[in-house]
């Protein structure tokens, strides 16, 4: 019996050999047909050396279960071919080619090294994971029956269509432009070119390298926002809400924060101006230049005293209205119209008015007190207390020539006995008294 470790048994009688391992042709009795040797079943029991029909183009070698030429083992180290059973793992294999260009079937997978020429390639059938290449060099993925119907594809000319994708590198082109990119979301992509825009018209944003600015347009094509990063004259950020009447800038701070910091650390706007320039410049305030509708404590706090000028400087060259106009309607004990609290270290007046107007109508202080009360109403109350050695003076009238001006009252407060010219009414202890003048 002749067999190996992976094949069925074969009888030499089945191959035409006698018990001396000699095969005699029926047509030529007594003539030795083949030399006494074991012949593999692939040759049908006929030795390649005496093959009658056909022709051997190249050298053919045999081993038990293997046909080969050039390759002594199932590897790509040698040029040739080898077909048969690998005794190391009992797998049927086929190796053909050189060390650089070859076709292998390793018993499980097909491995190809080198170029492939084919009319078309279809891998995976027609399901959603299949891959196709047609004879024109177009590639596509998915179950579409043609390149034209596919949604994920690359043409032979370089056109790319994908429904989604992630690019970890840089997109570039030989001509320096990418043309038009149509996508739902672009993530982590750096695009170099003259202009990038989200749409050709209507509501869109445009980044232009030539002018080095970013512009945002509304539905009418009006520019609502402009950001300039190289101009020496234009604003860095310009907000112009042209189409709809709404706020140009709105900052909303929440009442609490889940992360680090406290409410006191949150600032709506922080300006750090180290130059000799203006931090906020309102060139045309419109109806109201600055409006503060509500706040919990103080609407404006100036905590640092300036070093070169006043903390608040109101300079009007010409105006028909007051420089400061306040309306106080509070009913609490501290709802003052103006309150000036001077510290213990203060060296100058809490309120200093330097009037230099030539008109006799330009009083430094004018009090117009109107009321409707059963009790006394006061236009001015002066309280002066001095805990030191000096006196507490309510009003210092040391500057001549006139300390007060009063209306004429020709009634003699002395009843004629004092020969007074008139009287000046004063309130003393809640009762009206008179000072005589002569």
Per-residue pLDDT tens digits for 314-337: 877 777 788 888 888 888 888 888
pLDDT at res. 27: 44
pLDDT digits (tens, 9 = 90+) for 104-116: 999 999 999 988 8
Residue (of 177, 179, 181) closest to 167 by Cα position: 181
What mean pLDDT do residues 5-15 have? 55
Q: What is the pLDDT of residue 82?
A: 93
Helix runs in 219-323, H state only: none
pLDDT at 397 over 70: yes
pLDDT score at 248: 86
Distance separating alpha carbons of residues 115 and 123, to the nearest angstrom: 17
Q: Is the pLDDT of residue 183 over 60?
A: no
Q: From residue 155, give the alpha-carbon distance in Å to each of 135, 140, 151, 254.
A: 12, 8, 12, 52
Q: What is the pLDDT of residue 89?
A: 93
pLDDT given for residue 37 in this prediction: 43
Model confidence pLDDT, tens digit, residues 38-52: 444 444 444 454 445
pLDDT digits (tens, 9 = 90+) for 79-109: 999 999 998 999 999 999 999 999 999 999 9
Domain boundaries, the chain: 1-57, 58-113, 195-267, 404-438
Provide the percentage of residues in the chain whose pLDDT is more than 70. Answer: 77
pLDDT at 80: 93
Backbone angles phi, psi at 328, to 5 degrees: -110, 120
Residues 267-312: tens digit of each pLDDT: 888 888 888 888 888 888 888 888 888 888 888 888 777 777 888 8
What value does the mean pLDDT take over residues 352-374? 88
Given the DSSP bridges, would you call strands 110-113 and 61-63 parallel, antiparallel or unpaired?
unpaired
Q: Is 16 left (phi over 0), alpha (psi -120 to 50) or beta?
A: left
Q: What is the pLDDT of residue 259?
A: 78
């Amino acid at each position: 019996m002749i067999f190996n470790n992976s094949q069925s048994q074969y009888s030499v009688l089945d191959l035409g050999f006698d018990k001396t391992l000699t095969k005699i042709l029926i047509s030529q009795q007594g003539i030795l047909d083949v030399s006494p040797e074991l012949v593999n079943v692939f040759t049908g029991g006929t030795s390649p050396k005496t093959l009658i029909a056909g022709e051997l183009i190249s050298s053919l070698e045999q081993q038990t279960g293997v046909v080969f030429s050039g390759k002594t083992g199932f590897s790509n180290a040698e040029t040739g071919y080898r077909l048969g059973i690998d005794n190391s793992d009992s797998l049927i294999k086929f190796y053909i080619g050189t060390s650089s260009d070859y076709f292998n079937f390793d018993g499980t997978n097909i491995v190809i090294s080198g170029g492939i020429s084919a009319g078309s390639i279809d891998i995976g059938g027609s399901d959603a994971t299949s891959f196709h290449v047609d004879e024109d060099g177009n590639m596509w993925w998915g179950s579409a029956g043609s390149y034209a119907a596919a949604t994920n594809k690359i043409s032979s000319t370089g056109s790319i269509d994908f429904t989604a994708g992630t690019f970890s590198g840089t997109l570039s082109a030989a001509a320096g432009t990418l043309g038009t990119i149509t996508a739902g979301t672009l993530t982590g992509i750096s695009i170099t070119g003259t202009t990038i825009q989200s749409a050709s018209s209507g509501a869109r944003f445009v980044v232009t390298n030539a002018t080095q600015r970013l512009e945002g347009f509304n539905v009418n094509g009006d520019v609502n926002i402009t950001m300039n990063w190289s101009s020496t004259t234009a604003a860095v950020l310009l907000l112009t809400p042209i189409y709809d009447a709404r706020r140009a800038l709105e900052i909303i701070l929440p009442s609490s924060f889940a992360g680090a910091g406290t409410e006191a650390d949150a600032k709506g706007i922080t300006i750090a101006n180290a130059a000799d320039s203006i931090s906020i410049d309102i060139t045309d305030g419109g109806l109201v230049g600055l409006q503060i509708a509500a706040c919990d404590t103080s609407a404006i706090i100036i905590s640092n005293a300036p070093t070169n000028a006043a903390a608040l400087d109101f300079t009007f060259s010409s105006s028909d209205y007051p420089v400061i106009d306040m309306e106080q309607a509070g009913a609490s004990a501290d709802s003052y119209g103006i309150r000036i609290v001077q510290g213990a270290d203060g060296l100058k007046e809490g309120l200093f008015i330097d009037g230099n107007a030539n008109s006799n109508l330009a009083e430094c202080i004018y009090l117009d007190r109107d009321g409707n009360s059963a009790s006394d109403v006061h236009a001015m109350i002066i309280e002066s207390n001095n805990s030191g050695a000096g006196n507490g003076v309510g009003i210092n009238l040391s500057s001549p020539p006139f300390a007060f001006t009063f209306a004429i009252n020709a009634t003699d407060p002395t009843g004629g006995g004092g020969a007074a010219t008139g009287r000046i009414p004063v309130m003393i202890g809640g009762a009206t008294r008179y000072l005589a003048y002569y």
